[in-house]
Chain A
Amino acid sequence: MHPSDDPTAEQLEARCERFRQVFKRLAAEIEGRVVGHFDVVEAALIALCAGGHVLLEGVPGLGKTLLVRTMARALGLPHSRIQCTPDLLPADITGTITLVETAAGGRDVAFRRGPVFANLVHVDEINRATPKTQAALLEAMQERAVTVAGVTHALPAPFFVLATQNPIEMEGTFPLPEAELDRFFFKLRVAFPAIHDLVEILKLTTGAPAPPAGPVVTAEELTDLVGVCREIVVAEAVYRRAARLVRATHPDSPDAPEVVQRSVRFGASPRGAQALVLGGKVKALLAGRFNVGYADLEAVAPAALRHRVILALEAESDGIDADTVVQAAIEATRERE
């Protein structure tokens, strides 16, 4: 950026304020249609603002697909849906070379884009796709590009993947490999709604159909918002805290609490630390601050780390899940502060 393009503090403050307003509008628009999942909606929007992909996990019927569809509409972005099945092929996602008729009446080969070429891609029941097909998403998620027949095609920006998976029906599924799980910025658990939320859902879905969510933001605005998040300042101590938190999830680390040493096979990757800091930046911005605090890191840590921690077999037998491990790591690093 040229020095003259450097925004003034007032301009930057105005952008931050606009970010907060847009975020609130988005959240309100989505929560009007998806009842009882405020935390999930906020975390999903944080991940989108940080430029990350989201994996939603929950039993059928909790509104995961509705959430993704509503988000896509509220964001006003072109979106597509991929329903994963065991016979889904990579080319069904990325696109393929087909024989097309030219205007002159001749024939030619052309690349036909797959559903991954959208700003927001909803991958439903991602663990039902075969590992080969799942792997096709890897490049798209990480590089934001796909390579077909030796030619790399860039994906549109912004590009978000919102995948869902069902944790209870494991027959005929292919658990996501760790490398792919690591590509997801957040893993969010969609919990069963409370009674009063369930009542609201019944009112919303059994009466006259509610109008669909309208777009609140454009793609350009969204790109600008993502840029604002990156401007938030992080103190050296906060970077160190994020690094220590991730290290504390490794069983061989001296900072690791006892539950981590006993129950974890592999700890979180450096991508986990990146997710912590970026998610913390959005949280700080939403709180009206221009800096990240420890509390911001701790707030996003479960969503950012739970799918990056690989538990040992003993953990399952002891009834310890990833959230317990992450919470123990948070407390261990907090005590050592």
Chain B
Amino acid sequence: MTGAPADDLRKFLAGVAWRLWWGRLVQRALVIVACAAGATGALLLARRIFPAFEDVRLAAALVAAASVAALLPALRPVALARVAAILDRACGLDERLSTALGCLSRDGAMARLVVRDAALLARSLDVGRLPRPSLAGPGWLAAGLLLCVALLWLEPGAPASRALTAVAGAPRAPGADSGRTIAPAPPRAERAAGPAPASGPTREGRGLLSALGLETPPAPVTPGSALPTAARRGNADDRPPVASPLLPARAPGAGAVGEASAAGDAPASPSTGGAGPSRAADGDGSAPGTAPGRAGVAMGVAAAAGSAAAEPGRRAPADEEARARPIPSGAEAGAALGGEPVPAALRHYIVRYFEILRATHAGR
């Protein structure tokens, strides 16, 4: 059907379709932001709970890809039939526009009447007063952002972490004031080349341990120690040692075995790396399976790595002192948190963490 009423109706519907398209795009984008914030928060939480979780980049890439994929359908134009149905419902038009849109492809007196009626009605409609697309997920948006903010607030270097550190009576974690919230994991190639990143906790994990006064200080720089590995990783770990009042004592020989095996060609050092004299590397550099690394990882022991050969028998006094202290129980760790504003779930995981740590250490 052609003619002024039909053209008017088409133009009107097309205009509203454009408006609805924008509204839908913004709405979808907001929901996606909320979901992405929630996913980011979940990633931060996962890194907190599982310090060994290092595939953050992959996870972040997945979140980004999912966000883009979710946005794509919103780019499709809004069908005129859909526009007519929305207007009919929103303005109580008794399906006049939907019917008229169907009549555009018909001929006959009644079809002309219907289109004329709808075009007249459309002229009197105030499109500006149409209901805006509802933000389907304001709750989700708020929840996601809150989670993200809360976790960022609890990140090392954030006020909550500093408060926890103060409660535990330990010096602040190195780099606590750096303001960094998410530290990227070291590249895979680097991890494969040296065991150091895998042997100790991640920066966030160390921040949490530091907050509880449990971070193991790195050994002093000595020729042939594991520190070259740290140096190779970059400057972030190249910090002065921190003595922890709650540092557990380590059994000789306990250490990160896997690091030595990954490292390859050198025998593990019993000194700073914590690998005892009993650990003898075999011919290809792989170490025999001694007590592995969860405790070692948790205690932040720098591993004997790569080609670095540590000198035996040298241990820093502060290290010795720290190692002499017992691992706190879960209850003690919980008490150390005190009345600090730590989410209950996180508190629970911290307590459980120390229970497992203590049990592992006792079993060794």
- Please give the residue numbers on chain A whose beta carbons come within 8 Å of chain B beta carbons, in ascending order: 6-9, 11-13, 231-238, 284, 287, 289-296, 337
Partner of A7, one of B89, B93, B109, B117: B109
Partner of A291, one of B100, B108, B109: B100
In the complex the two chains form, is A12's CB within 8 Å of B102's CB? Answer: no
Q: How far is the CA of A284 from the CA of B94 in the complex (A)?
A: 9
In the complex the two chains form, is A12's CB within 8 Å of B113's CB? Answer: yes
- Please give the residue numbers on chain B whose beta carbons come within 8 Å of chain A beta carbons, in ascending order: 81, 85, 88-89, 93-96, 98-103, 108-114, 116-117
In the complex the two chains form, is B98's CB within 8 Å of A235's CB? Answer: yes
Contacting residues, chain A, for B93 (C-beta < 8 A): 293
In the complex the two chains form, is A291's CB within 8 Å of B99's CB? Answer: yes
- Given A289-B94, A289-B96, A293-B95, do A237 and B85 touch, yes or no (CB 8 Å)? yes
In the complex the two chains form, is B109's CB within 8 Å of A12's CB? Answer: yes
In the complex the two chains form, is B108's CB within 8 Å of A234's CB? Answer: no
In the complex the two chains form, is B94's CB within 8 Å of A6's CB? Answer: no
What's the least CB distance linking B80 to chain A, in Å?
Answer: 13
Partner of B99, one of A231, A235, A287: A235
- Given A8-B109, A233-B103, A238-B99, do A291 and B114 touch, yes or no (CB 8 Å)? yes
Contacting residues, chain B, for A295 (C-beta < 8 A): 94
Contacting residues, chain A, for B96 (C-beta < 8 A): 289, 291, 293
Contacting residues, chain A, for B112 (C-beta < 8 A): 9
In the complex the two chains form, is A9's CB within 8 Å of B94's CB? Answer: no
What's the least CB distance linking B327 to chain A, in Å?
Answer: 58
Interface centre among A6, A238, A289, A296 (most CB of B within 10 A): A289
Interface centre among B99, B102, B116 (most CB of A within 10 A): B99
Contacting residues, chain B, for A7 (C-beta < 8 A): 109
Contacting residues, chain A, for B98 (C-beta < 8 A): 235, 237-238
Contacting residues, chain A, for B95 (C-beta < 8 A): 235, 237-238, 291-294
What's the least CB distance linking A255 to chain B, in Å?
Answer: 19
Interface centre among A238, A293, A295 (most CB of B within 10 A): A293
Q: Which residue of B lies closest to A16 (CB)?
A: B113
Contacting residues, chain B, for A234 (C-beta < 8 A): 99
- Given A292-B95, A293-B95, A295-B94, do A6 and B109 touch, yes or no (CB 8 Å)? yes
In the complex the two chains form, is B109's CB within 8 Å of A9's CB? Answer: yes
Q: How far is the CA of A234 from the CA of B112 in the complex (A)?
A: 14
In the complex the two chains form, is A290's CB within 8 Å of B94's CB? Answer: no
- Given A238-B95, A291-B94, A296-B94, do A9 and B102 touch, yes or no (CB 8 Å)? no
In the complex the two chains form, is B85's CB within 8 Å of A9's CB? Answer: no
Contacting residues, chain A, for B100 (C-beta < 8 A): 291
In the complex the two chains form, is B117's CB within 8 Å of A6's CB? Answer: no
Q: How far is the CA of A8 from the CA of B107 in the complex (A)?
A: 11
Partner of A232, one of B94, B101, B102, B110: B110
Contacting residues, chain A, for B94 (C-beta < 8 A): 284, 287, 289, 291, 293-296
Q: Which residue of A lies closest to B94 (CB)?
A: A293
In the complex the two chains form, is A231's CB within 8 Å of B85's CB? Answer: no
Sampled A-B contacts (14; CB under 8 Å): A8-B109, A9-B113, A12-B113, A13-B113, A233-B110, A233-B111, A237-B98, A238-B95, A238-B98, A289-B96, A289-B117, A291-B95, A291-B117, A293-B94
Q: How far is the CA of A101 from the CA of B170 in the complex (A)?
A: 128
Q: Which residue of B lies closest to A294 (CB)?
A: B95
Q: Which residue of B lies closest to A7 (CB)?
A: B109
Contacting residues, chain B, for A11 (C-beta < 8 A): 109
Interface centre among A231, A235, A236, A238 (most CB of B within 10 A): A235
What's the least CB distance linking A181 to chain B, in Å?
Answer: 30
Contacting residues, chain B, for A12 (C-beta < 8 A): 109-110, 113
Sort A-B residue pairs by CB-CB distance and give the 8 closest, nearest first.
Answer: A293-B94, A291-B99, A235-B99, A293-B95, A12-B109, A9-B112, A235-B98, A9-B109
Q: How far is the CA of A8 from the CA of B111 in the complex (A)?
A: 11
